[in-house]
Amino acid sequence: MTDLYRLLPEEMEQLVVDMGYPRYRADQILLPLYYKFPKVINDIPQLPKKLREDLTEAGYTIGSAKETHRVVSDDGDTTKLLLNLTDGTPVETVLIQYPSSKINGHPRSTICVSTQIGCAMGCVFCATGQMGFEKNIRAEEIVAQVIHFADILQQRGEHVTNLVFMGMGEPMANYDEMIRAVRILTHDRGFGIGQRNITISTIGLISGIDKLAEEDLQVGLAISLHAPNNELRKKLVPTAGPNSVEDIIEAGRRYFKKTGRRVTFEYALMKGINDSPKIATELAILLKGNGSHVNLIPINPTAGDFNRPTQDSIREFERILFNAGVNCTVRIEKGIEISAACGQLRIDIVG
Ligand code: SAH
Ligand code: SF4
């Protein structure tokens, strides 16, 4: 069985040619796949019946994610879904809308996709990390998460404007499937989202960052730093291993040099752990002068005994970075009441 959502447009072309059909038939599959979201091959009426039969006989299918739970935040801006993958594994996917930020009259609509079930990195504050690693998500299953929301949005006259790889799992630890999904989703004959509207977030796997820089893609990179020194980082990211803070920052610099895309450092702020003015100063010294951007994320209390800092200490942390000339924003966490941090809904429902 091969899911048609797994194929790059060039591969789709090769497939129809190999089956003895003219090349243009590929577009008659691709267009409906990415604009009409059919659930089965027979939902593509413009394809000759014989081709539909040939595809089915050759074991091609259209995979889709089956929604089993939906939670919407009180303000309606965040929708979190549990989707069953084709093998029945539940995965978390989130839509975050920003009604005040309009793109061509439509609200900015960001989909947050998962790349793994669980995660082997074991970050102590992360619900997904505490689950341990279960399995990698295939490219077509990453695409299916986006298609599911694209369908929901289309019915409201809206569309997906941005994509972030910030759901469950470490994208760089599932590199080949992640990059295949990015190529399908950004291909102008595929889903067609702009490369610049995608951000890939990593815990700092250096080989993955360097590989991504060579892909000739204009995707954004976010590196989850969380600490300005190795001693503290190791406590928060126990698997950080040989990837030192300095090496990770250096890899971010190489990514910027190669792609021209600014790198964002994510920093989950935890009360009494990594939020002191001393640590802010250390972080400022580490990052100043290299044009990096810091995204401060007040922690969503999930795993372990981690709490959000007070508003005052968040502001103070931000001020220290700002005064050192380090570009910094505080991420307004949307949907905290629906367990918006990655992995939380799945834990609430599946355990
Ligand atoms: N594995 C990748 C991408 C998925 S996690 C990474 O770690 O970057 C996406 C982001 O959510 C990361 O920045 C991570 O630090 C953050 N995160 C995880 N648990 C969180 C929590 N409980 N509260 C706030 N942010 C959290
Ligand atoms: Fe994995 Fe990212 Fe969670 Fe760390 S924060 S455990 S890398 S998903």
Options 13, 92, 140, 318, the catalytic residue:
92
Q: Where in the chain is the domain with CATH 3.20.20.70?
A: 66-338
CB atoms within 10 A of CB 277: 12
109 pLDDT above the threshold of 90: yes
Q: What is the pLDDT of residues 180-199, one digit of tens each?
A: 999 999 999 999 999 999 99
Cβ atoms of residues 80 and 92 within 8 Å: yes
Going from the Cα of 263 to the center of ligand 2, the distance in angstroms, rounded, reads 18
> What confidence score (pLDDT) does residue 332 get?
65
318 is catalytic: no
Give just the sign of the alpha carbon dihedral 105, 338, 138, 195: positive
Q: What is the pLDDT of residues 324-351, one digit of tens each?
A: 999 999 976 655 555 555 555 565 655 5
Average pLDDT, the chain: 92
239-244 own/partner pairs: CB under 8 Å, 24+ apart:
239/120, 239/121, 239/122, 240/203, 240/204, 243/204, 243/205, 243/206
> What confidence score (pLDDT) does residue 101 get?
79
> What confidence score (pLDDT) does residue 170 get?
97
Q: What is the pLDDT of residues 231-286, one digit of tens each?
A: 999 999 999 877 899 999 999 999 999 999 989 999 999 999 999 999 999 999 99
What is the Cα Rg of the chain in Å?
Answer: 21
Write the single-letter amino acid at 339: S
Cβ of 71 closer than 6 Å to ligand 1, yes or no, is no
Of 322, 331, 210, residue with least CA distance to 267: 331
Cα 270-276-277 angle, rounded to 5 deg: 145
> What confidence score (pLDDT) does residue 222 get?
96
Cβ atoms of residues 92 and 342 within 8 Å: yes
> What confidence score (pLDDT) does residue 75 get?
86
* CATH class of this structure's domain 66-338: alpha beta
Of 283, 301, 304, 302, residue with least CA distance to 293: 283
Cβ of 224 closer than 6 Å to ligand 1, yes or no, is yes
Residue 81 DSSP code: E
140 is catalytic: no
Distance CA 239, CA 327 (A): 28
> What confidence score (pLDDT) does residue 320 get?
97
> What confidence score (pLDDT) does residue 55 get?
98
Cβ of 342 closer than 6 Å to ligand 1, yes or no, is yes
Cα 144-149-155 angle, rounded to 5 deg: 130
Going from the Cα of 22 to the center of ligand 2, the distance in angstroms, rounded, reads 45
Residue 152 DSSP code: H
> What confidence score (pLDDT) does residue 348 get?
60
Of 87, 89, 95, residue with least CA distance to 70: 95
Structure tokens that stand for 255 in this block: 């990514």
**Nearest protein Cα to ligand 2, atom 8:** 169
Structure tokens that stand for 251 in this block: 């890899």
Distance CA 45, CA 56 (A): 14
Q: Where in the chain is the domain with CATH 1.10.150.530?
A: 2-61
- Residue range 297-303: mean pLDDT, rounded: 83
In the beta sheet, which residues pair with residue 82?
Answer: 69, 92
Residue 201 alpha carbon, nearest atom of ligand 2: 2
Cβ atoms of residues 249 and 224 within 8 Å: no
304 pLDDT above the threshold of 90: no
- Residue range 71-79: mean pLDDT, rounded: 89
Distance CA 66, CA 206 (A): 34
41 pLDDT above the threshold of 90: yes
Rounded to 10°, the helix 25-35/9-18 angle is: 140
pTM over 0.85? The answer is yes
> What confidence score (pLDDT) does residue 341 get?
54
- Residue range 119-130: mean pLDDT, rounded: 93
CB atoms within 10 A of CB 156: 10
Q: Which CATH architecture has domain 2-61?
A: Orthogonal Bundle (1.10)
CB atoms within 10 A of CB 323: 12
> What confidence score (pLDDT) does residue 343 get?
58
CB atoms within 10 A of CB 5: 24
Distance CA 85, CA 340 (A): 20
Distance CA 308, CA 270 (A): 5
Distance CA 281, CA 224 (A): 18
Q: What is residue 177's three-state secondary structure?
A: helix
Task: Determine what percent of the chain is predicted with pLDDT higher than 70.
Answer: 94
